[in-house]
């Protein structure tokens, strides 16, 4: 165990109990050639909390999410997950450790039905080997059935029963976002990463999405990290907020603390730099 500082967490304003540290980012620096996307950022994510990352465009938020999900490998710093330093691993290995995510520009599998998309999210819960699958025998058919049941629960939860067998390509934007959330949830993740889950939605759809995120957190206790531009949404939803600007962390704390932070106000309102 590298991590010794796992304290007992805290109680949120609305009375939810937040656990110890699930993941800790330590001094992450990420460069693309000469461009520094993330500069020496540290923060932690606790079990059960909704953690937001905010910041102006190009602040490095999505890069941060990509570091967490293992798509980018930072040049410096380390990721501590469940108390252990995470070695450099492929994105699919990270996913297998219980980190699921959605994408900024929807990344659903357009050629497949909604059901198949969500079932793909459950692939780590299916262990039948190729021969069993080829013969559709023993484990293969049993697993398919059991996982289908789990998936149906999520379908019910997100209220997408009516489009279950629709090819994803035919769905409108808002529903696609919801299906993507369903796919991530199907994995039963320890940590759920949401990259701008409400981008491009109208008010009604945003309200629905907020409700789902809160319900997911409530029902399954899923630790959630989200990137979002809508300040109102972020302040309402999240327990703690990291604020980034030009690849640096300029604020970290509860929504109220962040709201009062001088640097944050400057980054958002554009007070003249002198």
Residue nearer to another protein on the CB measure, 178 or 183? 183
Residue 136, both tokens: 């559709």
Which residues, 32 to 51, sit near another protein by CB under 8 A? none
Cβ burial, residue 158 (10 Å; 0-12/13-18/19+): buried
Site string for another protein, 182-221 (x = CB under 8 A): -xx--x----------------------------------
Binding mask 54-93 for another protein (x = CB under 8 A): ------------x--xxx------------------xxx-
Compute the distance between CA of residue 183 and CA of residue 161 in angstroms, rounded to an integer: 14
Q: Which of 6, 120, 254, 261 binds another protein (CB under 8 A)?
A: 120
Q: How far is the CB of 148 from another protein (least distance, A)?
A: 4
Q: How far is the CB of 90 from another protein (least distance, A)?
A: 7
Point out which span in 17-25, 133-141, 230-238, 247-255 binds another protein (CB under 8 A). 133-141
Residue corresponding to tokens 């999210």: 121
Q: Closer to another protein by CB, 31 or 259: give it.
A: 31
Build a one-symbol-per-residue string for 229-258: x at contacts with another protein by CB under 8 A, - elsewhere.
------------------------------
Rounded CA separation 107/119 (Å): 15
Strands 10-11 and 17-18: antiparallel
Of 174, 181, 188, nearest in space to 126 by CA: 188
Assign residue 43 a region: left if phi > 0, alpha if psi is -120 to 50, beta otherwise?
A: beta
Draw the binding track, 146-165, toward another protein (x: CB under 8 A; -: no contact).
--xx--x-------------
Do residues 108 and 174 make contact, with C-beta atoms less than 8 angstroms apart? no
How many residues touch another protein under the rule CB under 8 A: the total is 45
Q: Which one of residues 6, 29, 42, 133 is an interface residue with another protein (CB under 8 A)?
A: 133
DSSP state for residue 49 in the 8-state scheme = -
CA–CA dist 184, 117 (Å, integer):
10
Q: Min. distance of Cβ 250 from another protein in angstroms? A: 25
Choices 39-47, 141-149, 229-237, 255-263; region in contact with another protein by CB under 8 A: 141-149
Nearest approach, Cβ of 111 to another protein (angstroms)?
A: 5
Return the number of the residue (124 or 259) whose C-beta is nearest another protein.
Answer: 124
Footprint of another protein on this chain (CB under 8 A)? Answer: 66, 69-71, 90-92, 95-96, 100-101, 103-105, 107-112, 116, 119-124, 126, 128, 130, 133-136, 140-141, 143-145, 148-149, 152, 183-184, 187
């Amino acid at each position: 165990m590298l991590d010794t500082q796992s304290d007992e967490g805290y109680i949120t304003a609305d009375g939810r109990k937040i656990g110890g540290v699930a993941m800790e980012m330590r001094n992450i620096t990420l460069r693309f050639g000469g461009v520094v996307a993330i500069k020496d950022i540290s923060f932690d994510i606790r079990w059960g909390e909704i953690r937001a990352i905010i910041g102006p465009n190009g602040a490095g938020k999505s890069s941060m999410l990509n570091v967490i999900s293992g798509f980018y490998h930072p040049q410096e710093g380390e990721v501590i997950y469940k108390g252990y330093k995470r070695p450099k691993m492929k994105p699919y290995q990270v996913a297998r450790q219980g980190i699921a995510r959605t994408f900024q520009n929807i990344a659903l599998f357009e050629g497949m039905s909604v059901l198949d998309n969500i079932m793909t999210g459950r692939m780590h819960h299916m262990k039948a080997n190729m021969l069993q699958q080829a013969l559709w025998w023993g484990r293969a058919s049993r697993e398919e059935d059991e996982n289908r049941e789990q998936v149906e629960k999520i379908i019910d939860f997100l209220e997408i029963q009516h489009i279950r067998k629709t090819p994803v390509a035919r769905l409108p934007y808002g529903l696609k976002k919801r299906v993507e959330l369903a796919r991530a949830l199907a994995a039963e993740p320890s940590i759920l990463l949401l990259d701008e889950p409400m981008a491009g939605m109208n008010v009604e759809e945003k309200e629905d999405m907020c409700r789902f995120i809160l319900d997911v957190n409530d029902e399954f206790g899923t630790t959630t990290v989200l990137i979002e531009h809508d300040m109102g949404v972020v302040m309402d939803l999240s327990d703690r907020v990291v604020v980034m600007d030009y690849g640096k962390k300029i604020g970290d704390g509860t929504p109220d603390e962040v709201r009062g932070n001088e640097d944050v106000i400057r980054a958002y309102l554009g007070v003249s730099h002198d």
